[in-house]
Structure 1
Amino acid sequence: MFVEQRVYTLKPGATPAFLDYYEQNGRAVQIGHLGNPVGYYSTEIGPLNQMVMSWYYASLDERTRKRQQLASDPEWMAYLKHAREWVTTQHTTILKPAPFFTEHLQAYIHRGRKS
């Protein structure tokens, strides 16, 4: 199991428009393929104009399968066409939970699937 963390740096001042557009046009289709995110944040202190998103996967094979399905969804492709206009850079990191944190992460993910 692991968490994929994606950090998108947006053009200055674009965060509110990006969030509104994502909520209206991208969120439902993305959750439909990937499930609920572990976290979805904007930066307040430090490097600004960043969106930090975290997604849970049981395996790299699951990640590959889910991301391929998302990438082939016409609704998601239409969303990306406009959303990419706000993005200047992307950084993706794969995070492996510490052994003592695995149970907590699994419980959190299980609770998120109920909502």
Structure 2
Amino acid sequence: MILEERDYHVRPGYLNDFVTAYETLGLQIQKDFLGEFVGYFTTDIGELNHVVALWRYESFADREQRRAKMMAHGPWQDYLTAIKGMLERQNTRILVPTAFSPMK
């Protein structure tokens, strides 16, 4: 099992638009194609205009296959067009649980 952490740094003034676009246009597509949806979070204190999405996969190969299928899906491309210009940067990390992690 791996956990993917995707950090989105949203341009100031666009956080609500970004979250709404994801909820209405992107989330269901990702649920249909990707692994287990763990959660979607915004920051309240500290670095603002920051969104974190967490997805669980069986393996890195599982993640690669699922994401490739999603990227080829027309409605996903429509979502990417809808959020164009809203992000300053994005970081993705793959987290591997320790032997004692409750999530393994």
TM-score (norm 2): 0.92
Counting aligned pairs with the same residue, the percent is: 35
- Give the match for residue 105 of structure 1: 103
| Equivalent position SS for 2:83 | helix
Deviations 1:30-78 (A, max 9, x none): 1100144212101111211011011111111101000101111100011
Q: Which runs of 5 or more residues in structure 1 are unaligned?
A: 107-115
RMSD in angstroms over aligned alpha carbons? 1.2
Q: Give the count of matched residue pairs.
A: 104
**1 CA distance for matches of 2:35 and 2:64?**
14
Which structure carries more helix by proportion? 1
Q: Which runs of 5 or more residues in structure 2 are unaligned?
A: none
**Runs of 4+ with deviation above 6 angstroms:** none
**2 CA distance for matches of 1:13 and 1:44?**
15
Shift of residue 14 of structure 1? Answer: 1.2
| Equivalent position SS for 1:77 | helix
**2 CA distance for matches of 1:75 and 1:38?**
22
